[in-house]
Amino acid sequence: MRLKTLLRTSAVAAISAIALGCSALPPAASAPVSGYTVVAKFPHSTDNYTEGFLFKDGLFYEGTGMEGRSGLQVIQPATGKVLQRHDMTRQFFGEGIVDWGANIYQWTWQTHTGVVLDRFSLRPVRTFSYTGEGWGMTRDTKTIITSDGSNTLRFRNPETFAEVRHIVVHDGAKNIDQLNELEYIKGEIWANVWHQERIARISPKDGHVISWVDCTGILPANQKRDDESVLNGIAYDAATDRIFITGKQWPTIFEIKVVPKK
């Protein structure tokens, strides 16, 4: 009886709120916005259609897209020199990459096929398959985290690539889709949003956007090749707490520091 009474009371309260022109619940607040400052700049090849980006043992690892141009490169930061390279076959459009143990995973956009490479030789070890599109990849200590262009991030078993769980990304009441390249930084998932010059900092627990990093203007418009030369690449050096960002066919990799927005 008490449960029925509580339900009846709640229903009456909700109806009363509507009658008064009020919402029964206050609107969810939007996440705060931070700015950035550039700490350092590094060379980046404008041939690279960046789809995956990470920092490991003093080197950049970059996964590139476009059919016939996709692959994985190991790059010396100071010079931009390519130290190692693995090219995908022409039918594949390369997407996100992630390191896992002694390996690097790279998957593809719409061909439902990914490859596991030995991180030291870039020799293919095995392939894996999945449903849906492949966009970005990162990891925590137990799972590989992936995006597919929607508002959903999926946590996957590294051995089977099967989904373990997922979160829906939202800023207040608004779902955030077009999630692209990913990086895991200090317990948060950082995500590029396709065609936006801002980065979402996402809670891996429930998908809410903790805050945004507004990167507007970091690369002048006259240095972008075309409308698809968008911000898409986040890498983190955990040893020295450095954050790097770049974009598709950008001439520069930027080391940034997050600061209050002016």
Tens digit of each residue's pLDDT (9 = 90 or more) over 111-123: 999 999 999 999 9
The pLDDT of 207-232, averaged and rounded, is: 95
> What pLDDT, on the 0 to 100 scale, is given for residue 261?
84
Residue 91 lies in a domain: yes
Residue 16 lies in a domain: no
Residue 58 lies in a domain: yes
> What pLDDT, on the 0 to 100 scale, is given for residue 18?
37
Distance of CA 224 to the CA centre of its chain: 21
Q: Can you tell me the distance from the alpha carbon of 236 to that of 164, in angstroms, rounded to the nearest whole number?
A: 25
Residue whose C-alpha is closest to residue 107's, from 141, 150, 71: 71
Residue 14 lies in a domain: no
> What pLDDT, on the 0 to 100 scale, is given for residue 262?
79
258, 243 Cβ separation under 8 angstroms:
yes
When the pLDDT of each residue in the chain is averaged and rounded to a whole number, the result is: 90
Residue 101 to residues 31, 66, 117, 139, 140, Cα–Cα distance (Å): 34, 27, 11, 11, 12
Q: Can you tell me the distance from the alpha carbon of 192 to that of 52, in angstroms, rounded to the nearest whole number?
A: 11
> What pLDDT, on the 0 to 100 scale, is given for residue 204?
98
Distance of CA 131 to the CA centre of its chain: 19
Residue 70 lies in a domain: yes
The pLDDT of 123-146, averaged and rounded, is: 97
Q: Is 1 helix (H, G, I), strand (E, B) or coil?
A: coil
Residue 26 lies in a domain: no
Residue whose C-alpha is closest to residue 139's, from 193, 101, 112, 111: 101
If you count them, how many residues does the chain have?
Answer: 262
| Number of domains the chain is built from | 1
- Other Cβ atoms closer than 10 A to 115: 20
pLDDT digit string, tens, across residues 167-207: 999 999 999 999 999 999 999 999 999 999 999 999 999 99
Residue 180 lies in a domain: yes
For residue 222, give the CATH number of its domain: 2.120.10.30
Residue 180: domain span? 33-260
Residue 119 lies in a domain: yes
pTM (predicted TM-score): 0.88
